[in-house]
């Protein structure tokens, strides 16, 4: 299943499922009468009250054309082009990122592969979706891209053993770890440079784990204005999903809806000669096998203080 979050004309985001072909969405919030007060942790808990009902409805819709048509008659199936997709995980409780986690990226950076995962975080407020713009801070001239595979936690995880990792992963999502390098390097730590508004695009959908046989055998690419700048495979990960879950949950309790971005391959902008940074008007695409394409337009934040959301087109 490909889970999406989208904005109705008014009110809280709706949870939906992208139908095969990507042109229509089953509105789970409407069909299941989900309360708009539900938190992200409640929505994405495999053991909770919502997700089991979502999976059951999805199976019914996939196996019964009459069920789908009945939903359509109620307004529970809507055109993808008629809505704005938001981050498939709205306001994650935590966004945890892993640095220097590809062997080929470590080689590019001239650094030794780390002995244990390098951890940093982004603020949850910078999470946006494929129909939102990446906004360049007014005072940054070196904003960079980083294509990443992220996994989404589906069960509370504390001191998880590596062999039990599959029980705790709800699914996977394309992620762009946008970074203001001038902020990052000037500050001497990464919080501001990694957490500017809109600096955690993800989507377009959260692909549930049953659709991805092995997250460690996926091609990952990033294109800027159609030109490929990153092209590698998750086989290059130094620490895979099982190791990351075990390492993180040993000291940090992971909760449903938490997002863990697993690191970026080589080809990032600041490491290029000459460097390549994002500019107003660019279109950035992150593509990972089985997960589709995350596409975002880039815009310069206006001097008047633009909002954190901006359209990036009506869809694929």
- Residue range 157-178, pLDDT digits in tens: 999 999 999 999 999 999 999 9
Write out the residue limits of the CATH 3.90.850.10 domain(s) in the chain. Answer: 95-300
Using the Cα atoms of residue 206, residue 210, residue 214 and residue 217 in order, give the sign of their dihedral: negative
Averaged pLDDT, 10-23: 91
Whether 8 has a pLDDT exceeding 80, the answer reads: no
Q: How confident is the model at residue 10 (pLDDT cuts 50, 70, 90)?
A: low
* Tally of CB atoms within 10 A around 247: 17
The architecture (CATH level 2) of 95-300 comes to Alpha-Beta Complex (3.90)
Identify the pLDDT of residue 9.
65
- Residue range 271-311, pLDDT digits in tens: 899 999 999 999 999 999 999 999 999 999 874 343 444 43
Q: Residues 278, 192: contact at Cβ < 8 Å?
A: no
């Amino acid at each position: 299943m490909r889970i999406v979050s989208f904005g109705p004309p008014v009110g809280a985001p709706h949870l939906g499922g992208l139908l095969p072909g990507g042109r229509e969405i089953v509105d789970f919030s409407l069909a299941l009468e989900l309360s708009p007060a539900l938190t992200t942790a409640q929505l994405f808990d495999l053991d909770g009250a919502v997700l089991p009902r979502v999976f059951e409805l999805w199976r019914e819709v996939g196996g019964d054309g009459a069920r789908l048509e009945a939903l359509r008659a109620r307004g529970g199936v809507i055109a993808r082009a008629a809505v704005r997709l938001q981050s498939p995980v709205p306001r994650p409780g935590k966004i945890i990122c892993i640095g220097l986690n590809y062997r080929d990226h470590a080689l590019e950076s001239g650094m030794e592969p780390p002995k244990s995962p390098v951890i940093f975080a982004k603020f949850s407020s910078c999470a946006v979706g494929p129909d939102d713009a990446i906004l360049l801070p007014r005072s940054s001239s070196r904003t960079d891209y980083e294509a990443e595979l992220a996994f989404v936690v589906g069960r509370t995880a504390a001191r998880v053993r590596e062999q039990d990792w599959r029980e705790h992963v709800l699914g996977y999502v394309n992620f762009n770890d946008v970074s203001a390098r001038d902020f990052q390097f000037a500050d001497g730590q990464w919080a501001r440079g990694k957490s500017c508004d809109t600096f955690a695009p993800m989507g377009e959908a959260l692909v549930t784990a049953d659709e991805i046989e092995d997250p460690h055998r996926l091609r990952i690419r990033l294109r800027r204005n159609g030109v490929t700048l990153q092209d590698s495979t998750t086989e290059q990960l130094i620490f895979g999903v099982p190791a990351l879950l075990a390492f993180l949950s040993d000291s940090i309790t992971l909760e449903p809806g938490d997002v863990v971005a697993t690191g970026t391959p080589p080809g990032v902008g600041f490491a290029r000669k000459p460097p390549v940074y994002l500019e107003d008007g660019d279109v950035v695409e992150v593509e990972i096998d089985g997960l589709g394409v995350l596409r975002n337009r880039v815009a310069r934040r206006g001097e008047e203080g633009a909002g954190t959301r901006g359209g990036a087109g009506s869809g694929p």
